[in-house]
Amino acid sequence: MPLNTAWRRGLLCGALSVVAASASDQRAWLEKHGVGADEIALDLEHGFGLAPQLVEEGALSGESLADVGLIDAVFDEMSRDRSTDWWTVEALADAPGWARARELAGRVLAREGVARTALPDVRVIR
């Protein structure tokens, strides 16, 4: 796998790892980086943009691309729903959208053979 491909796959898998993490681990990650819960969805959105090319390069399965698309759709639906603020740390623990996104992200990581390890240490550009 070329370095650029490996780097892009790592970026996507890192974002998926944060989505798949427990609510308490997500909360700790958010506090560590000083960002809001919406950053989890934004990071996934960046990774999703890389996914089609990863499929073309054979570095991601088509099934995983479809599941990442479903996660993106869940987050998009949460953004459109103005009845509740889904982007709070409290919502991480009990919102159905977060639970569905966690399930899908875990499925992708398992399918792609990515071990669940510590959440990625990222730098947030503001």
pLDDT digits (tens, 9 = 90+) for 66-98: 999 999 999 999 999 988 889 999 999 999 999
Q: What are the residue ranges in the chain where pLDDT is below 70? A: 1-3, 122-126
Residue 123 lies in a domain: no
State the DSSP code for 85. -
pLDDT for position 23? 97
Q: Does the residue 120 lie in any domain?
A: no
What is the enclosing helix (H) or strand (E) of 75? helix 62-80
Domain count along the chain: 1
Q: Is residue 77 part of a domain?
A: yes
The reported pLDDT for the residue numbered 116 is: 79
Output the six-digit token pair for 32: 């560590």
CB 24 within 8 A of CB 18: no
